[in-house]
Chains A and B, each alone.
Chain A
Amino acid sequence: MKKSVFLGAATVATLAAGAAMAGTADDVKARGKLNCGVTTGLAGFAAPDANGEWKGFDVSMCRAVAAAVLGDPNAVEFVPTTGKTRFTALASGEIDLLARNTTWTFSRDVDLKFEFIGVNYYDGQGFMVPKELGVSSAKELDGATVCIQTGTTTELNLADFFRTNNISYEPVPIETNAEAQQQYLAGACDVYTTDASGLAATRASFEDPSAHILLPEIISKEPLGPLVRHGDNEWGDVARWTLNALISAEELGVTSANINDIASSTDNPEIKRLLGTEGTLGEMLGLDAEWAQRAIAAGGNYGEIFAKNIGEDTPIGLARGLNAQWTDGGLLYSPPFR
């Protein structure tokens, strides 16, 4: 009873917040800054550097939106959020956009009243084991001790996977990724399981990364995407099509290096529409014609952002995999700019 009263009050407050802020895009323009929720620190995705400047894969999404809407990729106020505070921060209007490696799930989309604007990283839960264990498949992990973060979806996925394969395991509950790394290295568990991108980042920080392998099985779907509040479709469109512009730019071969040349010289009508030299797509979004040019110039197209922050040349060293363009056998598929 108490809980429902509380939730009711919270809902009313949230609805009031939503109603009063009908135009997030207008608010952002009036403020001159985009309030973007990011994680408090996840290698490759978002972290402040020694000068306090935020860098990372999710951070680039915030900068692209800021560049599209405000014309300045640095006009972003980064609001660090934890796993517990992120949704309230968005619902209450403290932030305009949440780009915090958040898994798109039914209940978050429908029940929590958010709008996922797309997927910027297709992740999945994987396993890391020491090479000397001599295991090549997760199905051989019968009886293994597994380090697992408590209270996450990974915990439930793990239980499902071992039950469906009819093998047993012994969980070693841990609280944070930092603790997990220590426990795993100290040999408190045979296996560490979390999102594959996190495993790759963790492995990269080891003294001898080659002594550990990631098993081929990916046991869950974790589509990570930026999200906005329900009920402000104009703002949702701006964010969604900024992400699509980055993805389309890669597909069409537009990079931050050649964007100025291409904008003036191209004959490809789709590129012309994307870059605003033809058509009125920007106007339809409530922005100017060159919004997508600025978004792409801010940090590059999707491929450039990926390569710079988490790609194979970085210490994290993630392969494109599912995150390749559909033309390369991946899942990235932007609707056409038409």
Chain B
Amino acid sequence: MSDVSFVRTEMLQEQTPPASEVGIIGWVRHNLFSGWFNSILTLISLYAIYYVLSGIVPWIFQSVWNANSLTECREIMMATWGSTHGHACWAVINDRWLQMLFGFYPDHLYWRPILALVLLLIALAPILYSERVPSKLLYLTAAYPFLMPFLMWGGTIWGPISAALGFVIGWGVYTVLSKQLSGLLGLVLGVLATVIWWLVLSGYVVGAMDSILPIGIEAVQSRQFGGFMLAILLGVVAIGVSLPIGIVLALGRQSDLLIVKYLCVGFIEFIRGVPLITLLFVASLLLNLFLPPGTNFDIILRVMIMMTLFSAAYMAEVIRGGLAALPRGQYEGADSLGLNYWQAQRLIIMPQALKISIPGIVSTFIGIFKDTTLVSIIGLFDVIGLSSAIRADTAWNGIYWELFAFIGALFFVVCFSMSRYSMYLERKLQTGHR
């Protein structure tokens, strides 16, 4: 036996990895300069980024904030930098930002849309972050659809109360009749009672109550709505209402009841086959011609209805995609537990189908929110409409990029938040099935 061992018997001392392989240098070597080709690409990209930023950053930051007109802006630029190129004139935003946010809403009432927005966030909390906030907040969520119009349009408090009463009446009729007669008949009559209340009776009741007990706040005309507030208002309503309608339409499309099915298919295909701008023109022009003269059918309400129907049709197809992705076993499992149709939908099918559809649903939300800018074509002053109105002021005639950059930033903040929330939701609901 020899003492010579052919295998090392003692461990080598641990060494730190070479400096070129770890830390920032290592990361750069691996990711940016891992070969001559990648190195060239890196250098070209760096130059491109530098080129773009070197134009944009001075434009944003070497800018004029205080001036009363574009001409004055240009004079200040000439005096400060000796050139008018490459400098933004943010003075227009400074001058008009309140108008771009609120439109022509009376300025002593700005607190109302702001309060409505804050309440919206609070009312959404129990839905968006159900595990982190007390569930009592759901009462606020339920009241919000009536509170919001009251805050935005003002007027008598009996209007929203009477609208809410419609739901109570419908629910009352449904519960009483569905026990005595059949469930379906109760549902139909309940809906009918609500509609009759809203269309026929509620007007008299509101008038009577208002003359007995006039409680209310200053009314604001729809004509005065505008700016980013209008985009948020239209977006929130379209988003909030289209999801339930979309779910119903998606279920209807899969229904075995022939009439329900073809009504849903017809609605979805018709709305999806028509551009949104056409629907908006119908809302603003055709309805005007067909309704009896003197009818005051609020233009913003008309636009809201059209946008909601439009996004509901898209929503229905997104959710149908989620339904189709569920394996047949889920439906059979629900049946074998003895659940009825609505129980199965609520407890088994919808939670899974909606989870699958989250990215598509949020895409539709973001899409419809950005589509709200189309209302500028029918003469409503949303931010885009206001930007051209501001340009028509002789003081600001000829200013473009600053206004569009501001509008872009506003929309980016909202859309990006929605997108991040959807990713959070996906992570939270991740159950490891994929």
> B-contacting residues of A (Cβ < 8 Å)?
9-10, 13-14, 16-17, 20-21, 39-50, 52, 77, 79-82, 84-85, 88-89, 91-94, 176, 178, 181-182, 201-202, 204-207, 314-316
With an 8 A cutoff between CB atoms, is B400 at the interface?
yes
- In chain B, positions 274-310 with a C-beta closer than 8 Å to chain A are 281, 284-285, 288-290, 292-294
Q: Are A178 and B388 in contact (CB under 8 A)?
A: yes
- Tell which of A17, A40, A182 touches B389, judged by Cβ atoms closer than 8 Å: A40
Identity of the chain B residue whose Cβ is nearest the Cβ of A314 in the assembled complex: B394
Using Cβ atoms and an 8 Å threshold, which residues of chain A touch B376? 40
Using Cβ atoms and an 8 Å threshold, which residues of chain B touch A20? 292-294
Identity of the chain B residue whose Cβ is nearest the Cβ of A89 in the assembled complex: B288
Given A79-B223, A88-B288, decide whether A48 and B294 contact each other with a Cβ distance below 8 A. Answer: no
Q: Are A47 and B393 in contact (CB under 8 A)?
A: yes
Given A16-B293, A21-B294, A94-B288, decide whether A84 and B104 contact each other with a Cβ distance below 8 A. Answer: no
Using Cβ atoms and an 8 Å threshold, which residues of chain B touch A10? 289
Using Cβ atoms and an 8 Å threshold, which residues of chain B touch A14? 289
> A-contacting residues of B (Cβ < 8 Å)?
70-71, 74, 84, 95-96, 99, 103-104, 223-224, 281, 284-285, 288-290, 292-294, 376-381, 385, 388-394, 397-398, 400
A-B contact count (CB 8 A): 113
Q: Are A178 and B400 in contact (CB under 8 A)?
A: yes
Given A47-B392, A77-B223, decide whether A17 and B99 contact each other with a Cβ distance below 8 A. Answer: no
Identity of the chain A residue whose Cβ is nearest the Cβ of B289 in the assembled complex: A13
Shortest Cβ distance from B181 into chain A, in angstroms? Answer: 41
Q: Are B289 and A43 in contact (CB under 8 A)?
A: no
Shortest Cβ distance from B163 into chain A, in angstroms? Answer: 26
Using Cβ atoms and an 8 Å threshold, which residues of chain A touch B394? 43-44, 47, 201, 204, 314-316
Question: Given A21-B293, A79-B379, A314-B394, 17 more contacts at CB 8 Å?
Answer: A40-B376, A41-B390, A41-B393, A42-B392, A43-B394, A43-B397, A49-B393, A52-B104, A88-B284, A88-B285, A88-B289, A92-B288, A93-B294, A94-B288, A181-B398, A201-B397, A315-B397
Q: Are B379 and A207 in contact (CB under 8 A)?
A: no
Identity of the chain B residue whose Cβ is nearest the Cβ of A52 in the assembled complex: B104
Identity of the chain B residue whose Cβ is nearest the Cβ of A41 in the assembled complex: B392
Inter-chain CA distance A17–B293, complex, in Å, is: 5
- Tell which of B293, B294, B378 touches A82, judged by Cβ atoms closer than 8 Å: B378
Q: Are B389 and A48 in contact (CB under 8 A)?
A: yes
Q: Are B104 and A48 in contact (CB under 8 A)?
A: yes
Using Cβ atoms and an 8 Å threshold, which residues of chain A touch B400? 178, 182
Using Cβ atoms and an 8 Å threshold, which residues of chain A touch B288? 88-89, 92-94
Inter-chain CA distance A48–B381, complex, in Å, is: 11
Using Cβ atoms and an 8 Å threshold, which residues of chain A touch B96? 50
Q: Are B378 and A43 in contact (CB under 8 A)?
A: no
Counting from the closest, the 3 A-B pairs by CB-CB distance are A205-B398, A41-B392, A47-B392
Using Cβ atoms and an 8 Å threshold, which residues of chain A touch B397? 43, 201-202, 204-205, 315
Using Cβ atoms and an 8 Å threshold, which residues of chain A touch B103? 52
Using Cβ atoms and an 8 Å threshold, which residues of chain A touch B378? 82, 84-85
Using Cβ atoms and an 8 Å threshold, which residues of chain B touch A21? 293-294
Identity of the chain A residue whose Cβ is nearest the Cβ of B77 in the assembled complex: A207
Shortest Cβ distance from A306 into chain B, in angstroms? Answer: 14
Identity of the chain B residue whose Cβ is nearest the Cβ of A53 in the assembled complex: B104
Shortest Cβ distance from A243 into chain B, in angstroms? Answer: 23
Using Cβ atoms and an 8 Å threshold, which residues of chain A touch B385? 40, 80
15 contacts between A and B (CB under 8 A): A13-B289, A14-B289, A16-B292, A21-B294, A40-B379, A48-B393, A80-B385, A81-B379, A85-B285, A85-B378, A88-B284, A88-B288, A178-B388, A181-B398, A205-B70
